[in-house]
Structures are given as structure tokens and as C-alpha cells.
Chains A and B, each alone.
Chain A
């Protein structure tokens, strides 16, 4: 799991999800909430723990709208399941 602090404006989500699509990185889940006055948002990204993870982090860190990138090994898939109960009920193959 990666935690980002990002500038909060309409294009930020496109920049981040576009990076994953463009570079062929896997993004399994995403959640984004505004922080304090709404100038920035906190974003949690569930990503596969693959060899290219470091490259993913470096590319994310280059985006102007991304202010910080840090690891959250304490959070996992269960975090998202708790946020979206229907995801916990549906097995991945049922979704596909």
C-alpha cells in the first residue's frame, strides 16, 4: 500500500491513474479524501508488491501534483474491503 499526499484539483486523479495505465503498472484499489481545508488530499493506493514498485514510486514522486509518497505496510486489502463492504462479499473472479 502506498500513501500519497496530493494537490487537490480536478486533474490530479487523472494524472495518477493515467501514470499507472501508461506505464503498465497494476493498481488494484484507490481511495482519496480531502485533508483539512481541502487544498490537499490523502490518497491510498493498493499496488502489487512487484519488483517494479520502486520505479512506480519514483514515477509518482515526479508528478507535480504529488507532494509526498510513503509506504503503508500496516494497511492491506482488508482496509478497502472494510470501506466498501460489497467488495468483501464478492470474490475477485465473480467481479471479473
Chain B
């Protein structure tokens, strides 16, 4: 049976179980769109028409971050492919499984500077886990399952597949279909290493667990929590690991690093054993690396062998699946009673809370807003963020209660991530329920909340059109200070208050903008009862945009200056004297 490359690609995606993909058509991928159209109603693949390819990339990421399975995005050649790059690079830094399909000019034109020709293979090479340029329709039978296998196996990541137009239109003989590609089991970690870690944990006096996004990927949050209690080891999380432990767990110490609570960074100064699990010693977490955890021996569990010792030498490296390693470790480790160390962690946590004015005095202080959201939203609510001050306030003050319910651009720090990721998350809600991870129907109608800033939201504002079209239960909350707030904060603290290009002289009326897109738009009135209005806006059905005026001088505290050691935290000025 001879079939076109486009039909082969569509059939392979159907066999992968792909039910939704996000993209934008153009000259070089039209044969594939034609094949999608021809799929009929028997095995339809739902296509989400984004309004910018970067939006399509982050919609696919939103689906992937919620389900753990590869998200799929699609773009044409040239600008379509270059517009995808940011979303691909973002997936690489946060280890998110993604398959990016791009059309390419016909092979006869490659290298001729043809219309909409760009070297997609060369551009995606440094930002993917692997990439392919398909040269023959029959190659798709090998490449497509392999792309999914690579994206989802081991440490997940993005895979790009560039398909020239003539490969889509040419036919190949297909005698049998390959098995769908999926995650391949990783070799087990040697038992003697796990036994060595168990001995070290038993011998330690002040152990701390340092969890990264790998714990979420491995579905190992519950096991990490069990280990923490078995070993009486307090737990610090990176931004990517928030949700691994419920925030009310007595051993949970919150996020470490640049915007950690003071007590959390102090605890790490005192630790004598640091067990890193699926974390990569990112500079925002460690501060000045040479002075990170100065008294601790480091044991490092990671699925990626290249992470062991990459930044900080580890006396013990354990390569493998975090869940499998933690299960084996729990089998070997008797309960460790460390009442003094537990009490010390509690004391540090109590002594250094996040400072903020009382709700009654300043209900729209960002910390109060995040706390309020924690009360108003059910625990299984998915919350996405953009990048900047609002992202750090969420990390400090919003209680992330379940894994995969905080979706945020951690490594690349991409402004513009939040809205399309929220659309992707909302599209994935049915799949999440069928995975049995969503729990019961949430009170706010399965809301997905995007917390953004007035700077970030404009970077992919066009996806409001996509949201209006899909009518998904996404609420976009804009913490609006008419600033690039984290830029202004750094200029205030580190550049002598020389504010360059941080202030927006013109800020759109976001509520009116939402209405222009066909969405409900609300602006909270600080002089009324803004939190009641916020609750009402969230409770009303359907998508909406809620513009929230916040104080333009509010900063994220504490803050470790970039490049400084984590103990050099800058506290909130008016409170500094009381807590120096």
C-alpha cells in the first residue's frame, strides 16, 4: 500500500494516541494539514489553531506539563519554525517532553535561500534533546516513534522533526506500521550505591532533602515525603519541585535560593548532608556555588548521569529513576529520630515568615493576593505563571498542594509562557481526569488560573483570541504595576535607582482589551471590596481577564543579589532592623 508522507505522519500520530496538537498552517506544511483534514471523524486529531507559533509551542507544553506525555506542536518553515524556538528551548531547560513538527521547503530548494527557508535543523540542534531532518517518506516510520521515545524517555525533553514539503507529498510503500514510541525503562541504580546512601543518611546529624523538577517527572513526591519523615530530614524545593510535598507538611521548608524565606537558606548553611533528588544546582537555587551548603556532604540522585558533579562535586552519585531509588532506599533505612534537628527547622520556619501587610490593610498586596487564591481555589487547581515578580510571589505565598498543578517557566524564564500554557492545561484537563490524578470535579468548575504581570501578558496577548475561540475555563490574573517589576527591583537594589526602561508610560486597559477579544474583562477597584470581586470573577463560568492594580514599589523579599552567597539575603527595608 503506497501512502503519502503526510498521511504516514498523521497515521503515526494517531497510533501514538495523539488527540490534540497545536499549530499554525503555512506553505510548507499544507500537505500535512490536508492529511489531517482527510482523517475524518473515525480517528480525529483535534487541531488547536494558535495565533503565533510560540503560543502553539506553549499550548503543547501546557498539555505536556499536566499529563507528563509529549505535547505536539506544528509550524511551517522559516518564520513558523523560528517562532517555535523559544518554546522548544524552554522545554529543554525544564525537561518537558515535546515533539515539534515543522514543514520545510522542498528538498530541491534546500540551500537555495528559497522563500521561507531557514536552517531549522541547525537552529533547533542546540535547544533540543535530538532533532531530525526527514529525507524520505519511509523514514517517517522510524523517525516519528523514535521522536516520541526520545522525548519521553530518561530525562524528558524536546525533539524537533523537520519534514520537507516533497517528503509530505511523495508516497512510500507501507507494509506494516511500527509500534508507537514511548518511554524506555532506565537501567536500575546499583544497590550498593543505595545502601551507601542509606548508611550516610543514618550517620548524618543534620540531613536536608533538596528536591528538583525531576521528582515531579518521576511521580516521586510521595516517596520523597516518606523519606523526609523516615530520616527526619527537612525538605527544600526548587521552583520546579513545588507541589511535590503539601505545603503544610511540618518538614516542608519551601523554595530555596534567590527568593527563599530566610530560614530556608539558613537551614542549608547548617546542613551536614544534602540529598539532591532530580535537581540540577541551578544558580537561582544555589547562589554563589562555592558557598552553597558549606558544611554538607552532597549525595545526588538523578536520571541524567551528566548532572552528577556538573556544578558541585558529589561524594555519592546515584543514576536512575528517582522513584525506584527512593523505594529501595526506604526499604533499607530504619526510622531516624532527630528531634533537635526537626525543632531547629520548625524554629527557622517560624522565625522567618514571608513579610507582608495585613490583609485588611492592603488586600491587593501580592502576597495577600496569592494567599487569597490559595483559599479560593480547590487544591487540584492548575495555576500557571509568567515570569517576574508575580512568579516569585506565587512561589513564596501560593500553596501548591499537588504535583503538576504549578506550571511555570523555570529554566529559561520565558515571559509569555503563562497564557498559552494555561490554554494547554485546560485542554489536558479531561486527560488528567482519566489518569485519575485530578480527583473530584473542583468547585470552581475545573478552573485553570494564569497569574501574569502587565509586562509578561503582552508577550503572547494574541492567544486571548485562541482562548475566546475555545471557551476554556481559564482565568487570567494580571498583577498590574505598570512596570517590568523585577527589572525595576534590580535597578532599585543594584543599579543606584537608575530606572532605565523599566516603566511603561502606556499600559492598555486590560479589561477593555479582553472584551475586544470577546472575553469577560474585570478591573478590581482597590477602594471597594476587591477580594470579594475577585472571588466573584473567578466563580463566574468561562474565560476571563482580571486586571489587578498592585503597588508599583512592591518588591519580592528576601532577595539574594545575583552572584552572592545565599546567606547574603536582602530583607524588606522597613522590617530589616527587626530581623537583621
Contact = CB atoms under 8 A, between A and B. Distances in A.
B33 interface: no
A59 B150 CA distance: 16
Given A62-B304, A64-B150, A11 B133 contact: yes
Contacts of B130: 63-65
A17 B150 CA distance: 21
A64 B305 CA distance: 15
A18 B309 contact: no
A14 B133 CA distance: 13
Contacts of B126: 18, 22
Given A22-B126, A64-B130, A55 B121 contact: no
Given A64-B130, A64-B150, A15 B309 contact: no
Chain A interface size range: 10 to 19
A77 interface: no
Contacts of B150: 64
A54 B304 CA distance: 14
Interface in A10-49: 10-11, 14-15, 18, 22
A11 B121 contact: yes
Nearest to B150: A64
Given A11-B131, A62-B304, A64-B130, A55 B310 contact: yes
Interface residues of B, number: 14
B505 interface: no
Given A62-B304, A64-B130, A64-B150, A54 B121 contact: no
Contacts of B40: none
B306 interface: yes
Nearest to A15: B125
A63 B154 CA distance: 13
A58 interface: yes
A58 B125 contact: no
A58 B121 contact: no
Contacts of B121: 11
Contacts of A54: 309
B305 A61 contact: yes
Contacts of A59: 306
B528 interface: no
17 contacts: A10-B133, A11-B125, A11-B133, A22-B126, A54-B309, A55-B306, A55-B309, A55-B310, A59-B306, A61-B305, A61-B306, A62-B304, A62-B305, A62-B306, A63-B130, A64-B129, A65-B130
Which 9 residue pairs across A and B have the least CB separation, nearest first?
A: A58-B306, A64-B130, A59-B306, A22-B126, A58-B305, A18-B125, A62-B306, A18-B126, A14-B125
